[in-house]
Amino acid sequence: MRNVYLDHAAATPLRPEVLEAMEPYLRAEFGNPLSLHRYGEAPNRAVQAAREQVAALIGAQDHEIYFTANGSEANNMAVKGVAMMARSKGKGNHIVVSAVEHQSVLYAAETMAKIGFEVTQVPVDRYGLVEPQAVANALRDDTVLVAVMLANGEIGTIEPIAEIAQLVRPRGIPLLADAVDAVGRIPVDVQALGVDMLSLAGSQFYGPKGGAALYMRRGVRIVPLIDGGIQENGRRAGLEDVPAIVGLGAAAALAAQEMEQRTQHLLPLRDRLIARLTTEIPHVYLTGHPTQRLPHHVSVTVQYIEGESMLLFLSMQGVAVSSGSTCTSKALKASHVLTALGVDSALAQGSLLLTLGAGNTIDDVDYVLEILPPIVERLRQMSPIYPGK
Amino acid sequence: MYTDIVLDHFMHPRNVGEIPDADGVGSVGNPVCGDMMTFYIKVQDGRIADVKFKTFGCGAAIAVSSIVTEMAIGKTLEEARNITKAQVAAQLGGLPPQKMHCSNLGTEALSEAIANYEARVAAGEISPQQSDA
């Protein structure tokens, strides 16, 4: 039995260099960055250094980086912050989102709908791609925000954000790109993309949980989610999680240095896993775009069986993966992403999500193909809807 | 998340299969929801003589199907119909709260199979004697 971790979309292991960078701030340098005495000095400098490291990774200025606890908070800060600012100025009532946004964007928009905003969801094609013109067509005179993710964590599809920005920005409407699944994996340059806001999370690229950020172009105005002290230029109050922020910065620096070699490592593994899964096991289908896709991302549907039962058997044999099936979701909801793609609801229940990382090898990929086919066959033999072959 | 009993029934489910000449067949749920169970029963002298199941669903669904078949065998139709989801969950050593609906599905599928048998008897398709043979 091998231990194979293939759920890097959920969490990634901490790089030793990241832990090393964090340690002083968990030990001797425990001070509050805002303290005026010497205990505040090193933490304060460290937070600033991390700010610069994160900015460098995405082509931003350091003062445009706002640290948050996670990607969901960054998304909420952006959506609710922009909407509430518009509301407070009596300007506009309309929000445009893609149909495949992460729940933190969709539900934040829904909460805004509860207080009177109108939300338009732009549909996607069968690969989960947003058509830039479709976004433009959805814009109204009272649109205050557009949110389209840079890449989708469930199906791996990379969206045409630069093209969308070209249609949205001339209208003076802020554009948010949730890049949580993309930053650290593919080159991301906020200038080239033309976005006004962008969310990222260190937990996706070998940094700690608790270290995430929202990029906000100078000039974007928000009502803060968290009021209180003056941290983050008054836009996100609260004592900074110094160790997590330092870890995020260190992870960002590593990602910037290693981007090329990470992609080189991941692509052949991803493509091998996709090819073997879809050709060696009957009735297995790739979801998301085949090529405009995150380099680490494999998502398939396995027909006639259900995801959680596959997950359990895989886990028992050492393989850790995820699924978008209803039963897997604690909320017992079918994947809104697969639904938006038009995937048949029954087929969507057989969703399997395998996300690669730096520690994976070709032996890991081949091990999955050793143990999964018998699992699938076993569950299909139990299934009332399996026609046999 | 799952008890050892649930995992045991998940890994070694009892009574998986179909009964081609079943006396009653009951199907509940559907793959769109993520859970579907089909139960096949043979009836003899007013008791469940044999039962098999096919299930599309999560670990809990498979475990529930398996244990319901164990609980049903040898029971009178009335007893079998009266098996509750609480009893099923108890036999499994408990189910996570969001999986309790699976235990409901299992008892429903069994009840459907019994109802199907009784309807077929009432319609003269099969006779109680025939299933006694």
Mean pLDDT of chain B: 92
Which of B35, B56, B105 to probe the A interface (max A CBs under 10 A)? B56
Q: Is B33 designated active site? A: yes
Question: At A331, is the pLDDT very low, low, confident or very high (cuts 50, 70, 90)?
Answer: low
Over residues B11-18, mean pLDDT: 96
Domain shared by A92 and A209, yes or no: yes
A120-134 per-position pLDDT tens digit: 999 999 999 999 999
Domain shared by A110 and A226, yes or no: yes
pLDDT over 90 (residue A201): yes
Q: CB pairs below 8 Å between A and B: how many? A: 66
Count structural domains, chain A. Answer: 2
The domain segmentation of chain B, as residue ranges, is 4-132
Residue (of A376, A365, A370) closest to A313 by Cα position: A376
- Among the three residues A201, A236, A255, which one is the final residue of a domain in this structure? A255
Residues of A in contact with B38 (CB under 8 A): 384
Instruction: Please give, rounded to a whole number of angstroms, the shortest distance from the CA of B42 to a CA of chain A.
Output: 18
Domain shared by A228 and A147, yes or no: yes
Question: At A329, is the pLDDT very low, low, confident or very high (cuts 50, 70, 90)?
Answer: confident
% helix / strand / coil in chain A, to the nearest 5? 45, 15, 40
Catalytic residue among B60, B83, B89, B102: B102
H or E segment at A147? strand A143-147
Sorted by sequence, the CB contacts under 8 Å of residue B124 that are 6+ apart come out as none
Over residues A303-324, mean pLDDT: 95
CATH class for domain B4-132?
A: alpha beta
Say if A57 falls within a structural domain: yes
Number of neighbours of residue B20 by Cβ within 10 angstroms:
6
Q: Which of A21-25, A296-300, B57-61 is predicted with the least confidence, judged by mean pLDDT? A: B57-61
Residue (of A328, A317, A230) closest to A6 by Cα position: A317
% of chain B exceeding 70 in pLDDT: 96
Nearest CA in chain A to B7: A312
Q: Which residues of A are catalytic?
A: 327
Burial of A285: CB neighbours in 10 Å, binned 0-12, 13-18, 19+: middle
Which of B7, B58, B104 to probe the A interface (max A CBs under 10 A)? B58
pLDDT over 70 (residue B129): no
Number of neighbours of residue B96 by Cβ within 10 angstroms:
14
pLDDT over 80 (residue B133): no
Q: What is the pLDDT of residue A359?
A: 97
Domain shared by A93 and A236, yes or no: yes
Q: What is the pLDDT of residue A177?
A: 98
**How far is the C-alpha of A179 from the C-alpha of A285, rounded, in Å?**
26
pLDDT over 90 (residue A211): yes
Say if A63 falls within a structural domain: yes
Domain shared by A297 and A167, yes or no: no
A197-201 and B35-44 strand pairing: unpaired
Q: What is the pLDDT of residue A357?
A: 98
Domain shared by A308 and A206, yes or no: no
- Among the three residues A230, A255, A280, which one is the final residue of a domain in this structure? A255
Angle, CA A111 vertex, CA A107 and CA A112 arms, to 5° = 115
Residue (of B65, B48, B71, B75) closest to B10 by Cα position: B65
Over residues A99-118, mean pLDDT: 97
Nearest CA in chain A to B62: A309
Nearest CA in chain A to B17: A382
Domain shared by A301 and A243, yes or no: no
Q: What is the pLDDT of residue B6?
A: 95
pLDDT over 90 (residue A16): yes
CB contact under 8 A, A381 and B16: yes
Domain shared by A224 and A126, yes or no: yes
Say if A192 falls within a structural domain: yes
Say if A116 falls within a structural domain: yes
Residue range(s) defining the domain that contains residue A114 = 16-255
Burial of A283: CB neighbours in 10 Å, binned 0-12, 13-18, 19+: middle
Taking any CB pair shorter than 8 Å as contact, residues of chain A touching chain B are 304-309, 312, 316, 325-328, 330, 332, 334, 345-346, 349, 381-385
pTM for this prediction: 0.94
Say if A386 falls within a structural domain: no
Domain shared by A32 and A45, yes or no: yes
A26-70 per-position pLDDT tens digit: 999 999 999 999 999 999 999 999 999 999 999 999 999 999 999
**How far is the C-alpha of A327 from the C-alpha of A325, rounded, in Å?**
5
Over residues A319-328, mean pLDDT: 86
Domain shared by A228 and A84, yes or no: yes
Say if A387 falls within a structural domain: no
Domain shared by A236 and A268, yes or no: no
Residues of B in contact with A328 (CB under 8 A): 58
Q: What is the pLDDT of residue A330?
A: 65
SS3 A284: strand
Sorted by sequence, the CB contacts under 8 Å of residue A217 that are 6+ apart come out as A64, A190, A195, A196, A197
Q: What is the pLDDT of residue A247?
A: 98
Instruction: Please give, rounded to a whole number of angstroms, the shortest distance from the CA of A63 to a CA of chain B.
Output: 44
CATH number of residue A285's parent domain: 3.90.1150.10
- E strands within A245-359? 284-286, 297-302, 319-320, 351-355
CB contact under 8 A, B58 and A383: no
**How far is the C-alpha of A177 from the C-alpha of A165, rounded, in Å?**
10
**Structure-token pair, residue A121:** 């969801």
Catalytic residue among B11, B33, B86, B119: B33
**How far is the C-alpha of A29 from the C-alpha of B10, rounded, in Å?**
50
Domain shared by A121 and A232, yes or no: yes
